[in-house]
Chains A and B, each alone.
Chain A
Amino acid sequence: MISITIDNLVKKFGEQVALNGISLKIEPGEIFFLLGPSGCGKTTLLRNIAGFYIPEGGRILFGDEDVTTLPPHKRNTGMMFQSYALWPHMTVAKNVAFGLEERKVPPAEIGQRVAAALASVKMEQYASRKIAQLSGGQQQRVALARALVIRPRALLLDEPLSNLDAKLRLEMRTEIRRVCKEFGLTAIYVTHDQKEALSISDRMAILEGGRIAQIGKPEEVYRRPLSRVVADFIGETNFLPGKVVSASGSSALVETEVGRFEGAVSDPDWHPSAGESVTLSVRPEAWKLTAEPAPVNSARGRIGESLYLGEVAQYQFNAGGHQLKIFELNPHVADRTTDHDLFASADPEDVVVLRK
């Protein structure tokens, strides 16, 4: 179990800057997610950690050891590739044994450890199969076993679930978390699937344009995004432009076109002043629909389109020229008439004040 420290990392491809001064520290045994839209640099960062790229600037530390220029085969990381990269000319057992053979582990021990690794991903009965004879989910398990069997210092996962169908993806998510915690592994996991990140990460970093936009626990990132980009990328949200009326500490009163809202400022380093243009972010599920206006944070409007999904209903709520997206859990759609006005209100805790 080691910590991984990234210190002011810069990676360029020709003129193009892929990583622009990334710094972060991943704690021992942590499952850390790198998240962001395609082209944000998340895979580039992972490949730097694996050693397939050498950065132009900055350092990478495994514990106290500087591995910045160490070639990949000397880093002792276990990587799961998006394509799995299982070798088609070897059997399942041979694939899993490969890393141990490279480490000159005695054959008897190799046999035991391969069997144990395959058992831990429930693939022991497929040991003598060829890779082409496995389904996608089975290949994924073999790739995981191959990465784990060498007892790596860190597990690196590059969108390992993107080639699986939705049901299998859910199953493998919890499987990967279980295995990581069982082995006490420091894991770095690249994905563009926010559900994956929210559900199994200890902490995550959202990257944008080669920089870190925010680092935090899933709930922090979801409930307290630091920027529009993060709020927009993680989950769904409603943005409302407005002007600050008054601000004190970490809360601010903002005048918008649909009414006056009180919200929380998520960035501790930023203190908006009266008159400043800002943006409010309110999650669709944070709104409550009522017949009468709430004492604070209320918008008057009328339901337009609605979509009934059983456990939840999604409404389009037209208020003051804005279309708000509202999710209602355990909905009573029959009560949600479109022929008279309603009020949508949000708790000040659920309203995030962001830079314009």
Chain B
Amino acid sequence: MNSGSRSLGPKAVYVLTGLYFLCFFALPIWETLGGAFRNPGGGFTMAYVIEVFRNPIYLEGLGNSVLMAVFSTLLTSAIALPLALLTDRYLFPAKNLFTALILIPMILPPFVGAIGVKQILGQEGALNALLIALHLMNPVHPVDWLGQSRLFGVVVMNALHLYPILYLNLVAALANVDPAMEEAAENLGCTGFRKFRKITLPLIMPGFFAGGIIVFIWAFTELGVPLMFDFNRVTSVQIFNGLKEIGGNPFPYALVVVMLVSTVLLYVLSKATLGRAGHAMMAKATSQGGPRPATPLGGWLIALFFAFITFLAILPHLGVILVAFSRDWYGTILPSGWTLEHFRQALGHDLTLPSIQNSLKYASLATLIDIVLGIAIAWVVTRTKLPGRQFLDTMAMLPLAVPGLVLAFGYLAMTQSGKLFSFLDPKVDPLMILVIAYSVRRLPYVVRSAAAGFQQTSVTLEEAAQNLGCPPFKALRKITLPLIAANLMAGGLLAFSFAMLEVSDSLILAQKQEDFPITKAIYELYNLLGDGRFIASALGVWAMVFLGICILGASLILGKKLGAIFRV
């Protein structure tokens, strides 16, 4: 931005990060598109994509994916909106505790929770045992809660896992609404639900959209949960099952393309209708709104509501924990015996210990890349006047909007033999490609937190150092980086913990047992006969404890700013 020599740095950063994105974000998508639209002769064809829409099995899968996404988003909203409104408006008993507990579902990938849910809602599960014990159900014909509609189970699992993302966005949006806007409505005679619908809801729509679209895309492309529920007629699982034929069969490619295009279309469409730039607030809040104390009864009711939602949200986790501790659990309310054996096994099994090592290795390397790239990108975006820096910013945020499944599939496609990146073939060694996959997917978190740090730290602090004889790069290292260390740690912690428990990349890219990360080990263990699901649960509990500590750390460091990280 200053002299010729000094503008070389930003340009180099721009080119290098741009190259990284070109190779590991654009190229995988491009390879997927190529596989879907290229006929055996090398020419362009729409035949495969059209065939997807002719094949009743693929069509049903697509329909189910849409239903899964729509219902998951609706249920997520139904949970998150009241919680956010109550948090914004009222003080109630143990509010701080409850608003912290609300984030619990994020500490476990929902497909692990699915083990617990099946244990509770299955035909021989805890709920039926309870109902039979209460003589509310005929023991000869127990209801198969999940069998009735597998979609139902998947939607519930998704919603219970994803509502914190929407909740955090809504709370942030509500905090920005000038209370005077609502007071003006009341002054003109509009109150209660009408006021909410006509004033509040339109004002928080951008926040609603920002969180909602992440929930929608996440649910639309969710792989782990439907896999665990044997819900095979959804596009994500169909793609997963088609991977074995990725070399010769164009239909997995076509499916991925259909999924990607639908995601983009839905994103654009909903952004156009719901997420428009937002209504700029005319002025800063003129009156001190803030939450007011609820009436004693109301306060307890609100606390009860929060407790109920939290209980529902941790029920799958409780299920997993109980399974991990149980000697046997079949047709009874609680496990029929207790043991610590599975935890010992979980750390001794030839699948688990290597998987923990692998995950640590993959996740740490990916986090390292993210921190370096994140600082570089955030610096260019916030501290330079380089033309096109906004484009870099947008690019760094895109991985939030592109389904992990699509990228994972693309990585597989671009490392096939004969391709430019065939030396990264995960069948040979998935280390590199998994690290890259994790890093691309988690980069937005680090960029966001680093950019926030740069914005809060005045650039004159660095200028003062330069003025006293410190070269620019050293000034950045000695002055600004120590000052934004908290932001970097929080962003890195989030990136690390999400990478540790990443599902779609792990399931798709890790193909040999000795390369499995934790999530794939849990999945494989679960499919083992015998005590597989107990060991899988024990491993899940270890993972839960670990991720819980990481997220707690991040939220302690970031405080209320945590919500800002989960936005497109």
Interface residues of A (CB under 8 A from B): 50-54, 69, 71-79, 81-83, 85-89, 98-99, 102-103, 146-147, 150, 156
Contact = CB atoms under 8 A, between A and B. Distances in A.
A2 B550 CA distance: 57
A103 to B, nearest CB: 6
A85 B469 contact: no
A54 B4 CA distance: 9
A85 B460 CA distance: 6
B468 A71 contact: no
Contact of B470 (A50, A54, A73, A85): A73
A170 B404 CA distance: 63
Contacts of B328: none
A98 B2 contact: no
Given A86-B464, A87-B483, A99-B468, 6 more contacts: A54-B4, A69-B4, A72-B463, A78-B468, A81-B464, A83-B458
21 contacts: A50-B467, A51-B466, A52-B463, A53-B2, A54-B3, A69-B3, A72-B466, A73-B468, A73-B470, A78-B468, A79-B463, A79-B467, A81-B460, A81-B464, A85-B458, A86-B464, A89-B483, A99-B470, A102-B470, A147-B467, A147-B468
A51 B466 CA distance: 9
A73 B479 contact: no
A73 B458 contact: no
Interface in B362-377: none
A184 B95 CA distance: 63
Given A83-B460, A85-B460, A89-B483, A73 B467 contact: yes
B468 A54 contact: no
Interface string B448-471: 000000000010110111111111
Given A73-B469, A87-B479, A54 B2 contact: yes
Given A79-B464, A81-B460, A83-B458, A71 B469 contact: no
A88 B466 contact: no
B473 to A, nearest CB: 10
A354 to B, nearest CB: 39
A89 B475 CA distance: 14
B468 A98 contact: yes
Contact of A73 (B4, B460, B471): B471
B560 interface: no
B464 to A, nearest CB: 4
Interface residues of B, number: 22
B6 interface: yes
A72 to B, nearest CB: 4
A118 to B, nearest CB: 16
Contacts of A73: 465-472, 475
Helix, strand, loop or mixed for chain A's interface?
loop
A71 B460 contact: no
Contacts of A77: 467
Contacts of B463: 50, 52, 72, 79, 81, 85
B482 interface: yes
Contacts of B472: 71, 73
Given A87-B461, A89-B483, A71 B467 contact: no
A98 B470 contact: yes
B3 A102 contact: no
Contacts of A72: 463, 466-467
B286 interface: no
Contacts of B287: none
A84 to B, nearest CB: 8
B55 interface: no
Interface string B467-491: 1111110010001001100000000
A79 B469 CA distance: 11
B5 interface: yes
A98 B465 contact: yes
Nearest to A79: B467
Contacts of B479: 87
A71 B2 CA distance: 9
Contacts of A89: 482-483
A102 B468 contact: yes
Interface string B394-429: 000000000000000000000000000000000000
A94 to B, nearest CB: 11
A242 to B, nearest CB: 47
B5 A71 contact: yes
A83 B5 CA distance: 28
A82 B458 CA distance: 12
Contacts of A98: 465, 468, 470
A73 B468 CA distance: 6
Contacts of B468: 73, 78, 98-99, 102, 146-147, 150
Contacts of B4: 54, 69
A71 B470 contact: no
Contacts of B6: 71
A267 B463 CA distance: 40
B2 A52 contact: yes
A47 B150 CA distance: 67
Contacts of A81: 460, 463-464
